Amino acid sequence: MKMRQLLILFIILFAFTVTASSWAALGDVAIFSEGVGWISKDNADIQRAIVFDNLKNDVPSVGEVVYKTDAEIGPWAEERIDDGVADILIIFGWFPTTLYTPGNSQVDDSIAERFLYGGNIILNCCDYIFYVTEGGGANGENGLKTIININADMWGDGTQITPTDVGKKYTPSLVDYTSNRPFKSDQIVDPWSVEAAFGDNGAGFFDPGIIKLNNSSGRVGICMQEGNNGTLPRGQILIEMIDFISQQADVATPVEPAGKATTTWGHLKTTR
C-alpha cells in the first residue's frame, strides 16, 4: 500500500516538474538610447545603466539584458516575435526606425506591431511614445494609434501625478511629479485594457502605467513621459515595472512555445 502511495506521489511530482518546465517566463531585454526625446543623451545613458546593472539581480526571471543600436534593434526584435516568451524593449522617447518606418506608412505588419501582438513588451520613458523618430515628430500622435490600433492619445500637459495604491506597492520609487503625456483610461478599449496605473491624477490620466493586450502577454508601458525633470528615477521605476510584470500570471503559465504569435497576432488582427 505504501509503495502504491509513493508511486502516485512520484507521478504527481513528475507531472508537476514537466509542467513547470514549460512555463513561459520573461525573455530578453534590449535597451535603446542611441536616440532620445525629452531627455539628454547623458541622462538616458545613466538610466540605461541603472537598468543594465541591476535588472538581473532584482528580477532574476529575465533573460539576457543588452544594449542595441537602431541598426541592431529591429533584427533583435524580429527574431523574438515568436519565441514563446515575453521579450522587452526599453526606449527613451525616440522610436527606432528599424522597428517602424517613420511617417506611419506601415499601417500593419511593422516589426514593432508584430512584436507587441506576438506577446512582447515595449516600455517608453520621456517623450510621447512612438511619436519622435528620425526626422523629429514624423510619427506624431498617429504613431501610437497605428501601432496599437485604437484611438488613444497622450495630450495632457500639466497632469499632476501621485502614486496610486498599486504604485505604492509595486513602484515604491515613484514620487509626486507632473506628467505631460499620460495614458487616458477611458481611451483604452478592446483589444487592450489597463493593467496597472502606478500613478494618476485621480481622474483617469495615468503615468507610469501599463496597458495589456487582452489574451496575450503583449504590453505597452510608459514611465514618466515629461521633459522638464531630469532627476526623476526612471531607471529604478523601469526595474520595478518589469518586476511587476514578472509577477503576473500570463508570464508564469504554460504556453505553446511557438504559438503566441499565431494566437494573438493572427486572431486579433482579424477581429480588431
pLDDT digits (tens, 9 = 90+) for 57-105: 999 999 999 999 999 999 999 999 989 999 999 999 999 999 999 999 9
Looking at CATH, the fold of the domain delimited by 25-271 is given as Rossmann fold (3.40.50)
Q: Please, how many CA atoms are within 13 Å of residue 159, restricted to the half-sphere of its CB? A: 27
- Residues 219/242, Cβ–Cβ less than 8 Å: no
Residue 127: pLDDT above 50?
Answer: yes
Q: How large a percentage of the chain has pLDDT more than 70?
A: 83
Do residues 31 and 48 lie in contact, with contact meaning Cβ atoms separated by under 8 Å?
Answer: yes
131-185 pLDDT tens trace: 999 999 999 999 999 999 999 999 999 999 999 999 999 999 999 999 999 999 9
| Conformation bin of residue 213: beta by default, left when phi > 0, alpha when psi is -120 to 50 | beta
Mean per-residue pLDDT, 122-128: 99
Which three cell numbers, joined as nine digits, stand for 111? 516589426
Q: Which three cell numbers stand for residue 203?
A: 481622474
Average pLDDT over residues 19-30: 66
3-state DSSP assignment of residue 219 = strand
pLDDT at 5: 57
Lowest mean pLDDT among 36-40, 96-100, 157-161, 256-260: 256-260
- Model-level pTM? 0.86
Are 178 and 161 in contact by the 8 Å Cβ rule? The answer is: yes
- Look at 120-124, 132-136, 261-265 and tell me which has the smallest mean pLDDT: 261-265
Asked whether the predicted pLDDT for residue 267 surpasses 80, the reply is no
Of all residues in the chain, what percent carry a pLDDT higher than 90? 82
Residue 234: pLDDT above 90? yes
Dist. CA 222–CA 148, nearest whole Å: 14
pLDDT at 2: 58
pLDDT of residue 13 exceeding 50, the answer is no
- Mean of pLDDT over the chain: 89
Q: Name residues whose C-beta falls within 8 Å of residue 243's C-beta, 6 or more positions apart in sequence.
A: 58, 59, 170
Q: What pLDDT was estimated at residue 32? A: 99
d(CA 21, CA 142): 41
N- to C-terminal Cα separation, the chain? 57
For residue 120, what is its C-alpha cell? Answer: 512582447
**What was the pLDDT predicted at 264?**
44
What pLDDT is recorded for position 25?
78
Count CA within 13 A, CB hemisphere, residue 55. 30
The cell for 53 is 546593472
Does residue 236 register a pLDDT over 90? Answer: yes
Q: Is the pLDDT of residue 191 over 90?
A: yes
Is the model's pLDDT at 204 over the cut of 70? yes
pLDDT at residue 263 in the model: 43
Whether the per-residue pLDDT at 11 is higher than 90: the answer is no
Q: Nearest-CA neighbor of 272 among 189, 216, 196, 154? A: 189
Query: Lowest-confidence range among 114-123, 243-252, 259-268?
Result: 259-268
Centre a 10 Å sphere on the Cβ of residue 95 and count the other Cβ atoms it contains.
Answer: 29
The whole-number pLDDT of residue 6 equals 54
Strands 205-206 and 183-184: antiparallel
Sign, CA dihedral 195-54-121-97, equals: positive
| DSSP state for residue 83 in the 8-state scheme | S
**Residue predicted with more confidence, 251 or 51:** 51
How far apart, in whole angstroms, are the C-alpha atoms of residue 11 and residue 5? 10
CA distance 217 to 246: 11
